[in-house]
Amino acid sequence: MIRDLRSFVANGITQVRDVGGPINILSQMNKRISCGELLGPKLFFSGPMLERAPLFYKSKNKILPGFSVSINTREDVDRVLSELARNGACMVKTYNKMDLDVYKHLLAVAKKHGLRVVHDPGRYLFHEIPMDMAIDLGVTSIEHGVAAWPVVLKDELKKQHDQLMAENADQAARESFMDKVIELGVESISTDKLQHLIHKMLENDIYICPTLVIYGYEDIFTREFIRHKVKILVGHDGCSPTKLFSEMKMLKDLGLSESEIIKGATIYPAQWLGVEDRFGSISPGMQANLVILDKNPLENIDNFESTFMVLMNGQVVFHKVKMEEK
């Protein structure tokens, strides 16, 4: 883990938006980084993924206790969000299943604590809080481009999808339908519904993190998000800087310009987090966390991997020449 933190900094990544992990580990890690005990990026974190029991990622809690936490009642919301705020979280990650009344209460409590909400509706289909509903409720950050899929299904497929949900169909039936939709790919999508969703995203200033590296189907939606200038955040599930660079290249292949990719890795996340007065751009009074590259990333996004020097809080923490001399 410590090696991963150093690797981020050595690759010029000086801030990280972490949207899912044990709050105690993230809180302690960020404190150690802040006081200089560890070399790592500044962490903006949510703490655990929150959903109604039974937990989808229950098995991960055996390895990382607190990775995912149950939110079944309003009382759970009050207790868990208070704990997250006390431990330095700046946002909340909602995932997969949650009762609508509890979800609305969560949004109100999060606002009271100054916690932003990022929403991952779940796997490809069968979302209890689909992304269009989350947007209508005031959520402004969505994880995974594939989150759009159930919202933009063609009418007949949408009817089948909703019937399976209403009947509380078993996992086998859901998987069978999901396989059918995945096989249809772009043919499963209503162009009109996708355009309506994109209009809603633009109207509500939504940020979306496509995570193309993780899902192979998101280009169906992300290409359209890019074409219509939805704000794209650069990120992925995991702790590898190289995957982040892969994500940048995939976004470029889908038509996102180098300048927008850079914004998606710098100023856009800072704006969503509300810290653009300190992070995300270079100007007087900003935090001096800087990466200096050997080559211009505006000419080719691959040049993001040409790190020459990295500064944290105005101090040089990585220098390629010195590292090569060692």
323: CATH: 2.30.40.10
- The model's pLDDT over 122-166, given as tens digits with 9 standing for 90+, comes to 988 999 999 999 999 999 999 999 999 999 999 999 999 999 999
Q: Do 180 and 200 share a domain, yes or no?
A: yes
Report the pLDDT averaged over residues 279-295.
Answer: 93
Note the pLDDT of residue 2.
66
Note the pLDDT of residue 323.
59
| Domain encompassing residue 193 | 2-286
State yes or no: pLDDT of 196 exceeds 90: yes
Domain boundary among 286, 302, 318: 286
Q: Are the beta carbons of 228 and 198 closer than 8 angstroms? A: yes
Note the pLDDT of residue 220.
86
Q: Do 69 and 134 share a domain, yes or no?
A: yes
Report the pLDDT averaged over residues 203-230.
Answer: 90
Q: Are the beta carbons of 233 and 19 closer than 8 angstroms? A: no
Q: Which residues pair with 189 in a beta bridge?
A: 153
Quote the number of domains for the chain: 2
Q: Do 134 and 110 share a domain, yes or no?
A: yes
State yes or no: pLDDT of 193 exceeds 80: yes
Note the pLDDT of residue 221.
94
Q: Do 322 and 232 share a domain, yes or no?
A: no
Note the pLDDT of residue 140.
98
45: CATH: 3.20.20.140
State yes or no: pLDDT of 218 exceeds 90: no
Residue 241 banded pLDDT, cuts 50, 70, 90: confident
Note the pLDDT of residue 325.
55
Q: Do 303 and 316 share a domain, yes or no?
A: yes
Q: Do 253 and 129 share a domain, yes or no?
A: yes
Residue 5 banded pLDDT, cuts 50, 70, 90: confident
Q: What is the mean pLDDT of the chain?
A: 94
Q: Do 242 and 313 share a domain, yes or no?
A: no
Residue 322 banded pLDDT, cuts 50, 70, 90: low
State yes or no: pLDDT of 324 exceeds 60: no
State yes or no: pLDDT of 242 exceeds 90: no
Q: Do 252 and 167 share a domain, yes or no?
A: yes
According to DSSP, the β-strands at 49-51 and 68-70 are parallel
Q: What angle do CA 267, 273, 278 make, to 5 degrees?
A: 60
Q: Do 292 and 280 share a domain, yes or no?
A: no
- The model's pLDDT over 36-60, given as tens digits with 9 standing for 90+, comes to 899 999 999 999 999 999 999 999 9
User: Hey, is 22 helix, strand or coil?
Assistant: coil
**CA–CA distance, 61 with 228 (Å, rounded to integer):** 39
Note the pLDDT of residue 3.
72
The residue ranges of DSSP E strands in the chain, in sequence order, are: 15-18, 42-45, 49-51, 68-70, 91-95, 116-120, 141-143, 207-209, 231-232, 290-293, 307-312, 315-319
Q: Which residues contact 294 (CB under 8 A, 6 or more apart)?
A: 303, 306, 307, 308, 320
According to DSSP, the β-strands at 49-51 and 42-45 are unpaired
Q: Do 91 and 162 share a domain, yes or no?
A: yes
Q: Do 16 and 158 share a domain, yes or no?
A: yes
Note the pLDDT of residue 202.
98
Residue 77 banded pLDDT, cuts 50, 70, 90: very high
Report the pLDDT averaged over residues 241-245.
Answer: 89
CA-to-CA dists, residue 104 to 114, 144, 272, angstroms: 15, 22, 20
User: What is the reported pTM?
Assistant: 0.93
State yes or no: pLDDT of 215 exceeds 80: no
Q: Do 144 and 259 share a domain, yes or no?
A: yes
Is residue 241 reached through a cis peptide bond, with omega within 30 degrees of 0 on the bond before it?
A: no
